[in-house]
Structure 1
Amino acid sequence: MNYLPLFFNLKSKNVLVIGAGLVAFNKITLLLRAGANIKIIAKNISKEVKCLLYEEKVMFIAKEFNKKYLKEIFLVISATGDTDLNNRIFQICNDLFLFVNIVDDQSKCSFIFPSIIDRSPIIMAISSGGTAPVLLRLLREKIESILPMKLGNIARISGKLRQFIKKRFTNTFERRRFWEKLFKSVFIDQIINGQIKKAINTFRKYSTNYIKSIGQIIIVGAGPGDSGLLTLRGLQVLQKADIVLYDYLVTSDILDLVRRDAQRICVGKRAGIKSISQDEINHLLVSLASKGKIVVRLKGGDPFIFGRGGEELEIAKKYGIDVQIVPGITSAIGVSAYSGIPLTHRKYTSGVIFITGHKCSNFSKNNWLLLSESIYTLAIYMGSVKAVEIANKLIFYGRLQSTPVALIGKGTTLDQKVIIGRLDEMNKIITLNIQPSLLIIGDVVNLHKKLKWFCSENTFDIVNYKSSIVNLL
C-alpha cells in the first residue's frame, strides 16, 4: 500500500494555497467544501479566485512566499508552476513536518488528492497512487452510477436513530444484524423517494420485530434493448433485488446487470405461444413479496406504455405491499431515435400517436379517421401481426397509399434492422419482419436516410425486396 487513506477534519483549520490559477481554484473549491480556512499567496490571481476573495470566502495574505506564513498552518498546497519555488516549499514543509502537496509533482507530495465520491456525510475516496488516472476516472463513474444521490439522507436519518437502537439492543451482534436487515429493506427506497414518515414506520416495525423482513415490489422499465439506455435508478434497483421476474424483451446485456446471487424467473409472453398468464404473474409477485423478498418486475420499454405495469401496481396496492415504479425509455422513443426517425418534426407532423397493434380490431370508425390524418405519426407496438389489416384500414379511411412506413426489428441493439417502404407495400414489408419490432407510419420516415446513424448497414428498402431477403439470410 503506497498511501494510507486518511480523512482529515479541516473545519476551521488553516490551509495555505500558493498560487491562484485555475488549478489552485479547483483545490480551493474542494477545501472550502470541507470547511477549511483558506489563505492565499499569489502574484497573479485568476478571476475565479478573485470572486472568492470578493465574497470573503478566502483570505489573501501576500504576493511572495515566506517561511513565516507557515505559522499555524495545517496543510500546504503549492500550484505555482515554478519548479524552484515548489522545491523550496516542499523542503521547508518537510523540515517543519507539515503536510504538503506540490500539484503535478507526485514525488514532492506528502499527501495526494484522491478521486472523491461525495454523498455527505458518506464520503468515498479512491486512488491509483498517480499510476492510472484515466482508469481511476472510469472506476469513479461506475461507483457514482450505483450510489443513489440521496445516500447521505439515509446516513443522516440512521445516525439520529442510533441511540434508540443502542438502548433497544444492548448486544453488538444484535445491533449489527438489525442494521443489516433494515438497510436491505424498503427503508432505503422510502427515504430515497422522500417518504420519510413511511421510513420511520418501517424502522419502528423492524426495531419491534427485527427478524421479519418486509417485502417489496419494484416495477422497472428496462428500456428498448440497449443496456446503456437502462436508467441509473434501474441499475441501482437491479443490484439489490432478491428475485427478478423478467420478460422476453429484456436483453441478456441488461440481465447481466442483475445482482449475481439474485434468482431470475422468466415470465415473458409471446404471441401465439402458450406462456404464463398475467394473473399468474400477479400471484407470483404478491407471493414472493409476502415472504419478505425484494421482487423486481423487469419489463421491456416502460412499464406504463403497453407494459401492464398499471395492473401490477394495482395488485401490489390491493395486498398492501410496498411498491415503486422505475420508468424506462419506451420502445417507440428509443427505437425511433436509434433509427434516425424523429417521431415529431415541425415540417412533417403535428404529433405522434402510440397504439398497440393487437387491439386495432376493436377501433371505431372515429378512431380510424383520426389515425388516418397525415399530420400524425403512428408508432405501433406489436403491429406486425396485424400490419396488413392496419395498412388497409388506414388507406380505406384516407391515408395516402404512398405514406412512408418503417418496420424496425431488434431496435437499439447491434442486430437492429430497418425496413423502409410504403403503406401499400405492407404485405411485402412484414415478410422481412424481425421480432421484436416497431412499426412507424408517417412522413417523418423519409428522414431516416438522411439522419440514420446507428447500424446503417442493416437498412433495407422494400424496393430492393429480393436482394433484401438474400442479405437477411
Structure 2
Amino acid sequence: MNRFPAYIALENRPVLIIGGGPSALAKARLMTAAQASLTVIAEKIDSETRAALAGVARLIERAPVVGDIEASVLVFIADGRDSQIERWVEIAQMAGALVNVVDRPEFCDFITPSIIDRGQVTVAITTNGAAPVLGRKVRADIEALLPQNVGSLAEFADRYRDAVKAKFSEHDRRLFWEHFFDGPVAAQVLAGDEVRAHEAMVALINRPREKEKTGVVHIVGAGPGDPDLLTVKALRLLQHADVILYDRLVSDEILSLARRDAERFYVGKAKANHAVPQDEIEARLVAFARDGKMVVRLKGGDPFIFGRGGEELETVRAAGISVFTTPGITAAAGCAASANMALTHRGYSQAVTFVTGHAKDEGEPDLDWAALATLKSTLVVYMGVSKASSIANRLIGHGRARSTPVAVIEKGTCPDQKIIKGSLDELGQLIEAGSVDGPALLVIGEVAALADGETLLSIAQQERLVA
C-alpha cells in the first residue's frame, strides 16, 4: 500500500477546481455531493458545466491566481498546459493544499477513487491510477453484493447506539450488534419496513439475554439453473447464511457461491422419492431459526410457483419467526429464454398459463382440461414429463388441435440442456426419442414453433449417423 485511504470531511470547506470541461464537471459533482464550498475557475466554462453547477458552486471565467489556490484545502486541476500545471501544483503544495491532477498520477497528492455511495455507508476503490477501468469493475462487483438499503441500516443502528451502550457491557455490546446485523430486525430495515423494525428493536434491546437467540428465515428462489441467473439479493443472502436447506433443482455451481462454512442440508424431492418430508422441512426451518441462525431455504426457480414456498412461509410465520421471500426467475421464463422463444408473442399468443402436471400419489393432475384445451394462448406445464402422453391426449380429447406446436425443454439454461419440439400428438414420442428424464418443462402453443431445438426427424437422422 503506497497510498493511505482516508475519508476527508469537506462540508463548507473551500475546494478549487481549475478547468471548465467534462473532467472538471465530474470532479465537481463529487465535491458537491461531499457538500464542499466549491469554486470552479477556467478561462472558459462550457455550457453543460455551467448549467449543472449553477447555484451550487462559484463559477469564475478567468485564469486562476495564487490567492485562489492558496485559499483551498483541495485543488483539482482538470485543464492546463504542463508548465501551468507544474506551477499550480507547486503553489498549492507550498500553501499546504492537497492536489489532484486529472489523468496525471505523477502530480497527485491524492487520487479520487471509484465510489459506492449508500448514505452512511461509503466504499471507495482505487488502483492508484494504474487501471481506472479495473477499479470501476471492482466497484460494480462490490456494488452488486451490497443491499440498496445498507445505508439506511447504518443510520438505523446509529439511532440506537446510546441505548445499547447504556444497556450492555462492552463485551455484550459486540455480541448484540453481531446478532443484530444478521438478525430479523436488520432484515426488516433492508426490506424497507422501518416502522416495524423500530418496534422490534426496542423489544430486542429490552429482551432478557437468554431469549435473544431468535434468527430469521429467508425463502429464496435460485432460478432455473444457470448460476448467472441468480438474483443479486439471492447471492448476498447465500453469502451470509448460517444454514441452507436446498432442493434437488439447485445446482452445485449455485451452492458453491454460498458462505463456505454454512451448514447445508439436502431436502430435495423427486418423483416418489422425498428425501425429507415437507412437515419435517418446515420443522427444521423453525428449529434452526429458534437457535439464532440465519436460515436460507433455497428452491429452484421461484419459491412461490409450484415450490411450496407459501406453505413454508405460513408455518414459519405461525411460529413467530421473521420470514422474508426473495423471488427467483421461474423455470418458464428461464427455459423460454434459453430456447430463444417468447412465451407471449404478438400474432401468436397474448397470454400464458402455468399449470402443474404433478398430482398427489402419482395420479392424474386435477385440471380443467376443457378450459385449457380452448385457450388460444401458451400453456406451460411444470413437472409434466411422466404424464406427457396423458396430458396431450386430454387436451386433444377436449378440442386442442393435434398439430399444436409443443416444445420440451430439459435442464433449461444449464450447459447440458436439451430442447425438442414437434406437435401435440407427438409429445410422448418426443420425450421418449429425446431420452428426457430430468427436470423438464412442456410448452404447448403456437410460440413453441419458434423455439430453437431438435425435431423427431433430426433425432432420427442423428441416430442413423451414429449407427
- Distance 1:371-1:136 versus aligned 2 partners, 3 A rule: same
3-state secondary structure, aligned to 1:44: coil
Match of 1:173 in 2: 171
- Identify the residue that residue 157 of structure 1 maps to in structure 2: 156
Larger mean CA deviation between 128-137 and 415-424 belongs to: 128-137
Counterparts of 2:459 and 2:405, CA distance in 1: 16
Where do 1:305-316 residues align within 5 Å?
A: 305-316=305-316
The corresponding residue for 1:456 is none
| Range with greater deviation from structure 2 (124-133 or 140-149) | 124-133
Residue 62 of structure 1: how far off its partner (Å): 3.3
Of the three residues 452, 460, 464, the one matched with 2:454 is 460
Conserved? CA contact 2:213–2:290, under 8 Å: no
More deviation, 338-347/371-380: 371-380
**More off after superposition, 210-219 vs 155-164:** 210-219
Q: How far does residue 472 in structure 1 lie from its aligned partner after superposition? A: 10
Please say if residues 70 and 95 of structure 2, whose CA atoms lie closer than 8 Å, have aligned partners that are also in contact: no
Q: TM-score, normalised by structure 2?
A: 0.94
- 1:221-253 deviations in whole A, cap 9, x for unaligned? 111111111111111211211110000101112
- Could you report, residue by residue, the CA deviation over 1:74-101 in whole angstroms, capped at 9, with x for unpaired residues? 1100111533322221222222221011
Paired residue type of 2:137: L
Aligned residue number for residue 408 of structure 1: 409
Cα 1:471–1:272 change in 2 (3 A) is: farther
What does residue 223 of structure 2 align with?
223
Greater Cα offset, 109-118 or 93-102: 93-102
Residue type of the alignment partner of 1:372: A
SS at match of 2:200: helix
SS in 2 for 1:166: helix
- 1:462–1:468 Cα contact (<8 Å) kept: no
Correspondence for 1:447 among 450, 454, 458: 450
For residue 61 of structure 1, report the CA deviation from its aligned partner.
2.3
Distance 1:472 1:334, change over 3 A: farther
Q: Counterpart amino acid of 2:205?
A: S
After TM superposition, the structure 1 stretch with the greater mean CA deviation from structure 2, 224-233 or 193-202, is 193-202
C-alpha distance after superposition, 1:376-433 (max 9, x if no partner): 1011101111011111111111212111111111111121211111111112111111
Cα pair 1:224 1:412 within 8 Å, conserved: yes
Q: What's the offset of the Cα at 1:470?
A: 7.5
Paired position in structure 2 for 1:399: 400
Give the secondary-structure state (helix, strand or coil) at the position aligned to 1:297: strand
What CA deviation, in whole Å up to 9, does each residue of 1:276-309 have, x standing for no partner?
Answer: 2111211111222222211111000111100100
Task: Report what 1:272 is aligned to.
Answer: 272
In structure 2, what is the equivalent of residue 417 of structure 1? 418
Give the counterpart letter for 1:376 in structure 2: S
Tell me the distance in 2 between the aligned counterparts of 1:434 and 1:66. Answer: 78
Identity of aligned residues (%): 41
User: In 2, Cα distance between the equivalents of 1:164 and 1:470?
Assistant: 78
- Runs of 4+ residues over 4 Å off in structure 1: 468-473
Write the distance in 2 (CA, Å) between the matches of 1:297 and 1:312.
9
The aligned runs of 1:136-151 (5 Å cut-off) are 136-151=135-150
Superposition deviation, residue 320 in structure 1: 1.2
Find the residue that maps to 1:320 and give its secondary structure. coil
Q: Secondary structure at the match of 2:451?
A: helix
Shift of 1:65: 2.0
CA distance in 2 between counterparts of 1:403 and 1:116 reads 54
Partner of 1:188: 186
1:294 lines up with 2:300 in the alignment: no
CA contact (8 A) 1:461 1:468 kept: no
Instruction: Name the residue aligned to 2:65.
Output: 66
State yes or no: 1:113 paired with 2:112.
yes
- CA gap of 1:462–1:83, structure 2 versus 1, over 3 A, is farther
Shift in alpha-carbon separation, 1:470–1:96, aligned structure 2, 3 A: farther
For structure 1, the residue ranges without an aligned partner over 5 or more in a row are: 450-458
**TM-score by structure 1 length?**
0.93
1:354-365 mapped onto 2 (5 Å cutoff): 354-359=354-359, 361-363=364-366
- On the 8 A contact 2:286/2:316 being kept in 1, the answer is yes
Answer whether contact 1:11 1:37 (CA < 8 A) is retained: yes
Give the aligned length.
460
1:20 touches 1:46 (CA, 8 Å); kept in 2? yes
